[in-house]
Structure 1
Amino acid sequence: MESRRSLIVALSAIVLLLPLFIATATAQSKLSRDFYKSSCPNVESLVRSAVANKFRQTFVTAPATLRLFFHDCFVRGCDASVMLASPNGNAEKDHPDNLSLAGDGFDTVIKAKAAVDRNSRCKNKVSCADILALATRDVVVLTGGQSYPVELGRRDGRISSKSSVQNQLPHPNFNLNQLNAIFASHGLTQKDMIALSGAHSIGFSHCNKMSNRIYNFSPRMEIDPKLNTQYALQLRQMCPRKVDPRIAINMDPTTPRKFDNTYYKNLKQGKGLFTSDQVLFTDSRSKTVVNSFASSPAAFNKAFADAMTKLGRVGVLTGRQGEIRIDCTRPN
């Protein structure tokens, strides 16, 4: 009797979860590499050209766009909700975890959207979410990374709230368990997480995100012992005590403007800027993958492409869900 009751409970749980699995699979199946083949066949070249123009104006275009895509997908899914503005400061972009997103990322998508819509065949047919996904791939290539195919067919969300960001993004002081948990909640594996962390190969952070590692780390230690001492002293020069916390620091001290696997080589030398970076090497459960990526650019590039594809499927709106925004910053 007890075993039968357990079986019934288990079957009930499966039945309850089945619609979720079907909905997820259906949404993903509607994404395709040639989604705009008929409606806007040259969308990729239009976006690529606009992104390249923006990149020529400022390098920040690259890390800003890449980070924007990640922050968008981890909150409400890849629906460009992070682009929406709120007159009362209550949108996703207004949450403290998003205030450091560089304006050049938003501007890249807006300029690419304008370029697409200037084409009469494409006008108002391509979503801001898809443009962000394409622009992200393009900035990776512009900084020396490997190209990868982008699945398309996302629709734009209409909802954006500051409260939805709470506890949805990884923090600089996360340990491996916390990193794995937050990525797993979006269907991403530990290997995916380590590969996506390679986005820290380009871009910057700010003094207030890592100052705890170089000053007053513990009652007995000024500097985090897992941090390379020479590197820590360099960071102190860039971030002296009581400095403006918004001062920018390169995430990769070796090749900060090149998307490559040097990030992982830095981790092996104790030069991960965040605790959440360095733990990837100091924790034995992730160390093997870091070593693999550090020794093989090809292994990293493939893993990154695979992880970006999976990230781009998170929480997507397709078909009749959402909309195609005319203006990326507000619902239609």
Structure 2
Amino acid sequence: MASYSTYLKLCFTIFFLINYVPASVQLSSTFYSSSCPKALSTIKSAVNSAVSNERRMGASLLRLHFHDCFVNGCDASVLLDDTANFIGEKTAAPNNNSARGFDVVDTIKSKLESICPGVVSCADILAVAARDSVVALGGSSWTVPLGRRDSTTASLTDANTNLPSPFSDLSDLISAFSNKGFTTKEMVALSGSHTIGLAKCALFRTRIYNETNINTKYATSLKKNCPSSGGDDNLSPLDTTSSTVFDSAYYTNLINNKGLLHSDQQLYSGGSGSTDSQVRAYRNNPASFFTDFGNAMIKMGNLSPLTGTSGQIRTNCRIVNSG
């Protein structure tokens, strides 16, 4: 009986290990090698075309992946449109009239559906497009694990509460990223995504008119396009020196008190702040930033993905499959 009992325990252990492996382990860089071998090249070609037409689009596609993963995991919930019976995440404060690139995702999805229908998820498209956008703008590549599936739900509430605010202080930023399992160093690396892209006047007006830890000439130049009232949607580059090139200039800007957003400049106080040394390290060693950024992006892409039979592979990234 003892040996039979041991056998049963062994069987149960094996069953547990097979059925309760963490979802991130199930992702694989070769997931589409057989089912859709042209998937990655199709996405890359479409991203390169979109970025060539508008370099800002690279930042927008990178941001979409971030805004997806930080709200209940990397499940393409950010792409869902509102319907008569459903409110998605697009009207959440961090996304409303701000998140963009949806049409590029639509184009990619359409191309993939024509060559391998029902195979490549919208969530994986976001993950790969983010990587390809960085590369298209001069950054380093990383290997994207694949096999995510798409959600059938979204959360307006979580989109409003989980995404870090451009008005956040350092402690709030550290907490927001820590809640998703990121270290402070990884938070500083991921913040480097602001080396590309633009931000609206409404998001940095308070900083340029009221804060003192900002380069005076820089603030004056920004005020020309961001008056004390009005012009809320006027855009300025997050990186004042090379906003369409993925480099480490973002960190140099912080050291020079030229962070555009309040949350940006919070990473560097000019003293012995908890993130100051990391900012200086990335300024001095861009290769280190590229490596750490890529590793942090892989980790972000592993946030609670739907795999196996969970969720679905949406035919249209904007709506849940019917039936």
Indicate whether the TM-score tops 0.5: yes
Q: Distance in 1 between matches of 2:287 and 2:53?
A: 30
Q: Which residue of 1 aligns with 2:6?
A: none
Q: 1:175 aligns with which of 158, 169, 185?
A: 169
In the alignment, does 2:29 pair up with 1:33? yes
Structure 2: unaligned runs, 5 residues or longer: 1-15
1:288 to 259, 264, 277: 277
Q: Secondary structure at 1:214's aligned position in 2? A: helix
Partner of 1:151: 145
- Contact map agreement 2:90 2:99 (CA 8 A) in 1: no
Separation in 1 of the partners of 2:83 and 2:122?
20
1:242 aligns with 2:238: no
The amino acid that maps onto 2:227 is P
Following TM superposition, by how much is the alpha carbon of 1:242 offset from its aligned partner in structure 2, in angstroms? 1.9
Task: Please tell me the root mean square deviation across aligned C-alpha atoms, in Å.
Answer: 1.5
AA paired with 2:261? F
Q: In the aligned structure 1, how far is the partner of 2:97 from the partner of 2:177?
A: 21
Same amino acid, percent of matched pairs: 41
- Residues in 1 aligned to 2:48 and 2:233: alpha-carbon distance in whole angstroms: 27
CA distance in 2, matches of 1:181, 1:259: 26
The correspondence of residues 130-149 of structure 1 with structure 2, limited to 5 A, is: 130-149=124-143
User: Secondary structure of the residue that 1:205 maps to in structure 2?
Assistant: strand
Deviations 1:118-168 (A, max 9, x none): 21xx22100000011001101100101011110100000000132221311
Answer with 311-320 or 106-115: which moved more: 106-115
For 1:85, give the aligned amino acid. Answer: D
Give the Cα separation in 2 of the matches to 1:36 and 1:286: 39
After TM superposition, give the deviation of residue 270 of structure 1 in Å: 0.2
Distance 2:201 2:304 in 1: 33
Q: Which amino acid aligns with 1:258?
A: V
Alpha-carbon deviation of 1:281?
1.1
The correspondence of residues 113-262 of structure 1 with structure 2, limited to 5 A, is: 113-119=109-115, 122-215=116-209, 217=210, 224-262=211-249
**Aligned to 2:161, what secondary structure does the other structure show?**
coil
Secondary structure of the residue that 2:275 maps to in structure 1? helix
Distance of 1:52 and 1:118 partners within structure 2: 19
SS of 1:293's partner is: helix
Q: In 2, distance between residues paired with 1:176 and 1:100?
A: 26
The code of the aligned residue for 1:142 comes to A
* Match 2:52 to one of 30, 49, 56: 56
Structure 1 residue 305 corresponds to structure 2 residue 294: yes
* AA of the residue aligned to 1:70: F
Alignment-mate amino acid for residue 45 of structure 1: S
Per-residue displacement from partner, 1:235-269 (whole Å, max 9, x unpaired)? 11111222320111110010011000000000000
Q: Is the 8 A contact 1:173 1:275 kept in 2?
A: yes
Letter of the 2:263 counterpart: S
- For 1:100 and 1:289, locate their aligned partners in 2 and report how far apart those are by CA, in whole Å: 33
Contact 1:67-1:101 at 8 Å conserved across structures = no
The Cα of 1:60 is off from its aligned counterpart by 2.5
User: Which residue does the alignment assign to 2:13?
Assistant: none
- 1:268 maps to 2:262: no
CA contact (8 A) 2:124 2:148 kept: yes
CA distance in 1, matches of 2:91, 2:163: 14
Gaps of 5+ in 1: 1-18, 218-223
Picking from 91, 94, 117, the partner of 2:88 is: 91
SS of structure 2 residue aligned to 1:197: helix
TM-score normalised per structure 1: 0.88
Pairwise CA distance, 1:53? 1.7
Matched, 1:77 2:64: no
Contact 2:93/2:160, CA 8 A, preserved across alignment: no
SS in 2 for 1:284: coil
* Distance in 1 (alpha carbons) for counterparts of 2:91 and 2:266: 29
**Deviation by residue 1:76-116 (Cα, 9 ceiling, x = unmatched):** 1100000000124721111122114343x111211111111
Per-residue deviation, 1:55: 1.8
Deviation per CA, 1:22-56: give whole Å up to 9, x if none.
95x52011001111111112211011111112222
Q: 2:236 is paired with a residue of what secondary structure?
A: strand
Equivalent pairs counted in the alignment come to 301
